[in-house]
Copies of this chain bind each other. A is one copy, B any other.
Amino acid sequence: MKVSRTFIPTLREVPADAVIVSHRLMFRAGLLRKLANGLFAYLPLGLRSLRKVEQIVREEMDNAGFLEIRPSVVIPGELWKESGRWDSMGGALLRFKNRLGADFVISPTAEEPFTALVRDELSSYRQLPLALYQINTKYRDEVRPRYGVMRGREFVMKDGYSFHTDDESLDNCYQDVGLAYRRIFKRCGLSVIPVKADSGAMGGSGSEEFMVESEVGDNTLLFCRESGSQKCDYAANVEKAECKADYTQCDSASTPPIEKIDTPEVKTIEELCAFLKTDAKVFIKTLIYRAVNVELEFNEIPGSEAFLTGKSSPGKAINEMYFAVCIRGDLDVNEIKLTARLKAAEVSLASEADVERLTRAPLGFAGPVGLNSIPVIADLTVTAINDGVTGALAKDLHFKHVAYGRDFRAWMVTDLRTVKAGDRCPHCGGELYEKKGNELGHIFKLGFKYSKSMNVSYLDENGKSQMPIMGCYGLGLDRTLASVIEEHHDDAGIIWPISIAPYHVIIVPIKYDGAVKAAADKLTAELEREGIEVLLDDRDERPGVKFNDADLIGIPYRVVIGDKNLAGASKKVEVKRRCEKESRLVELDKAAKELSDNILRDLAEMICQT
């Protein structure tokens, strides 16, 4: 392809709103243009690379036994009402009415149409497992789209859904997709960190996120520093990260009896520490939470009866319920862990009025001792406090010498702490550190959430009706492409991995004329005959401009053809890899063969590596 015949509007200027390097380079290299906030147009170069990412994703999903289908982008709201997400999804779900007044959404993810399609076709266990995917346009009504396609409104996502008769079959599929994802990212030249993640509102258990490091990442990730000679690969999203206990269970036999103390005008833990001249670690911080749509099976937890009067009916979620959550004074409650533990749609701190109503004390004096109105949930750290301080459920009063097990017991004890840099690795005890990351893919076991809400069933071997168990597998294509640029660039521009480069070779004639033109045309034709994708810079521009553009758009191999090197018995051209500084002179007649050998080897390596 001749540069003059394609459309590569490179820019010297950086768009004002482009703060990350991929955003800057996608615009500067003419891959992308903006139509509105969060809405973009891929130009020819960008689309070529996006298509290559798409093809890699398709091949690996096909290899993993998934079947590609394509539901519409516009989906009837009815299906979202069935699944319950019409209400639970929040403002990011773009809802609209058509001219006849019917409700529709533009799919951000597609659990509903996939589940509906399978529901209508599924009758027998013999049809399972069934694993389907699409690569299609998605839309999220982001309030603040930014970072180019890294967080746009419209984007291209591969989303897959699998349906199984049992856990083992789901496990196998989940593992296969995990491997496929690792291959996909390696083939794109990306260093991706698979981390354990919480599956959040999707419901279910077992979940892995595929992250890339990014200074502007949405996610906080925790990693283990290698401790001594030992290698440890612990990596987790803070949403789910655990850590090794930094406490030991102590006996409360020698603890003095619990004692009420006056703490006038003392409300915060800092003030209490100063007042009592002690450390935050001895405090039992008590927070009152409101939880919505709680699906936890209360019947299975002893001591629940008292809290459930009029609230619970078997198999139904509890609309609204309050909890007291206790945690050691130096730690923070991880609300995502709390949400997951309660199987709630959402948790949030209770209002001041609710706190006063439930604790019968002003804000700042909540504590677990004597609190009977709501269930008390204790973080694991609380059970190790045998001489602690906590609010006494009355204005200006606290308890000291509080011992867990002696002075109070929690209704539920669980891990709720927010793990931080400096905490200890749960695997090896090494020190954890933090990084910011962006999610490129997410796979998780959905369980029966959609089978149940959308009424999917099949007949098993015994003719009994059963629900399929589901898995769900997403991967963002635009983000993947942008992340490749984040990882592969220098000051001059993009350095494309060969697998997703828009072209393999750029030929730069110093002046597209005479013998140089003839040589450039010949080499282009020879390379194209070998299936190599060639961009020929036939423009009447200064060599410096052409070199800068070649570097900016990041084509892996550059061939410079000039009069000087062409002169003499063995006509030569200058070959340079974008990722290397040095160029080499190669005989014109041998250049096509050498280049295509190198390129095919590079391409093969990116596949074989995996």
Contacts and interface: CB of A to CB of B under 8 A. Distances in A.
Nearest to A50: B70
A91 interface: yes
A39 B74 contact: yes
Contact of A47 (B69, B73, B139): B69
Nearest to A540: B126
A71 B152 CA distance: 13
Interface string A82-115: 0000000001001010111010001000000100
Contacts of A36: 75-76, 78, 102
Contacts of A7: 67, 69, 121, 130, 132
A68 interface: yes
Interface string A1-27: 000011101000000000000000000
A251 to B, nearest CB: 56
A604 B73 CA distance: 35
A547 interface: no
B154 A73 contact: yes
A40 interface: yes
A362 interface: no
B143 A35 contact: no
Given A36-B76, A74-B139, A139-B74, A42 B69 contact: yes
A179 interface: no
A121 B33 CA distance: 10
Contact of A74 (B6, B99, B154): B154
B141 A99 contact: yes
A32 to B, nearest CB: 10
B96 A94 contact: yes
A71 B40 CA distance: 6
A1 to B, nearest CB: 9
Give how many copies assemble into the complex: 2
Nearest to A120: B33
Given A7-B67, A9-B121, A121-B9, A137 B73 contact: yes
Contacts of A9: 121
A444 B274 CA distance: 81
A106 B67 CA distance: 28
Contacts of A120: 33
A85 to B, nearest CB: 16
Interface in A36-50: 36, 39-44, 47, 50
A47 B96 CA distance: 27
A598 interface: no
Given A33-B117, A71-B35, A98 B41 contact: no
A348 interface: no
A525 B320 CA distance: 60
A65 interface: yes
Contacts of A44: 67-69
A116 interface: yes
Q: Which 7 A-B pairs have the closest CB atoms?
A: A41-B71, A96-B96, A36-B76, A39-B72, A42-B70, A72-B154, A9-B121
26 contacts: A5-B65, A7-B67, A7-B121, A7-B130, A33-B120, A35-B71, A35-B76, A35-B113, A35-B116, A39-B74, A40-B71, A40-B72, A41-B71, A41-B113, A42-B69, A42-B70, A43-B117, A44-B69, A73-B73, A73-B154, A94-B96, A99-B141, A99-B143, A100-B143, A106-B106, A137-B137
